[in-house]
Structure 1
Amino acid sequence: MANYVFGVDIGGTTVKIGLFTTQGEMVEKWEITTRTDEGGKYILSDIAASVEDKLAEKRIEKSDVAGVGMGVPGPVKADGTVIKCVNLGWGIFNVEEELSKLLALPVKAGNDANMAALGEMWQGGGKGHKDIVMVTLGTGVGGGIILDGKMLAGTNGAGGEIGHICVNDDETEVCGCGNKGCLEQYTSATGIVRMAKIILNTTDKPSKLRQIQYISAKEIFDAAKEGDELAATLVENHGKVLGKALAQIACVVDPEIFVIGGGVSRAGDILIDTTAKYFAQYAFHACRQTKFALATLGNDAGMYGGACSILNQ
């Protein structure tokens, strides 16, 4: 039985690679540059070379490696076919087959957010649960759905794209996806800042936020914790929009737990408590006891998820 497994998280700037034991312990992690030139044609060969180098350095035989699990920033079908990754320059091809040929090892690929969710289920905020929904609140809003310990990829690899649930039919500004009124436009880090600017520009309500030239999500949540009324209103609205959207998701997949990650999650309890409050208000009665937790693996979640994807096949 193999003792090691690799987890890979491909980003637009760097590729994070982790060597794990099959028991879930990270042995070592490192990064290589993501070479996106010439349509990203060097990315997989660079990953393969880096893995080969690590095996040689650690004197690990391939027979002792279960495989390589890989998170990709774009839609990935269940069979490993990537449906375009704009940030990498990739078109449509089977990334599992290509990397497996280069390494002569089993390869499993998935959307990076789904992989992060799998990692949090395995060794993070969702540990001990097999049905989880992870929400990442960063520059955008990502998501990953894990049911019975398996990633939900969907027919087109778009399972878990919860940031693009429409929550406002009257929105006039366009989301990055091309639609209007997406969850991402209100609950991402940029979304709550956008809402703050609207309130500051359309009301005379006093707030310490008016003294800050470049407002961040952190400053909004910090001001709310300190009792700033306008900031508290923004946090309440954020929790309401997010909690209501998650209540709709719960009606469909009925998870045991929602795990909240991304930069905005550093706000901590105020974020979790507000979201959970509105979730309970809008949720179907059978789902109201769904748990909420903060993600704990940070930027390593994708690597953990990649490793787990090999072991969970």
Structure 2
Amino acid sequence: MLTNSNSSFSMPSTFLLIGIPGLEGGTLWISISFGIIYILGILCNCTILYVIITEKSLHGPMYFFLSMLAMNEVALSSTTMPKLLGVLWFGAHQILAVCCLTQMFFVHLLSGFESGILTAMAYDRFIAICYPLRYVSILTNVILGKIATVIVVRAIVIILPLPIMTGQLQYCTKNVVYHSYCDHMAVVKVACGDIQFNNVYGLVVSLSIIGFDLMFVILSYVMILRAVNKLPTREARHKALGTCGSHISVIFIAAVPIVFNFVAYRVVENTVSLSLQVFCANIYILIPSLLNPIIYGLKTKQIREQLLRTPRPKTVTFKTLQ
């Protein structure tokens, strides 16, 4: 049995990550698939970042948020995938408690960043469509910096108590985490003491970040639809909504697994298998990191043109000898 010999009530020195419970028979194919998706996601996001950084015409508000999203996707997937692949490939189940809490902090912190960035992108689309003539004057570099600061500070303030409270729980002799990474709820369930406050605070975190951001995004798009309906021609309405297509797709991809995980952990926990919960938790991190840059690369004309542009060979002229 994977347990720790420490009989005290303090946090054990190490935890043991199971991986994906119940899917041990498909470990090889799961690990290969996850590894390929992880590598492709990093390459795609780095490509988007390179294009935005090197092309001056893309140094605008929308691409500022897109570059933030790309960097966040690389960081978020990198907080979990190397350890998961180590568990699946080499049986490296053990993780130091301090590393587990650190991983927990960054997984939830970067998830909070992603939610905030997507909300900021909704605000960007709102300004672009409802106030097109004032777009550049409203979203100045100073304002963009303030928005980025709010996203970072908000997430840190809200997420930081999670690992601190988790480290104060009583763990008896248990140290087996039935998950592939140190998710807050998965580690809290290992504790043998009262975890009600942790559950309540976890719910508050979900509602304060995801709930608020989702309401803001919905409100933004209600205002966008009202503005679009006032446009004189169908072509103009179609063009305006077309600029939101990428953002809507990305929100949908991110929202579905988030809602599933929230419902699975807190509403219908006993009716959803643990293997499905853990598998979807990994999909929530992996799939957006791969699909988001692909969606923006295909749907954003300026980025697509830069990706398809090939350098032209320089023409050499020869002067004839007289």
With normalisation by structure 1, the TM-score equals 0.34
Higher strand share: 1
Higher helix share: 2
With normalisation by structure 2, the TM-score equals 0.33
Ranked by relative contact order (alpha carbons within 8 Å, sequence separation 6 or more), the top structure is 2
Larger Rg, first or second structure (1 or 2): 2
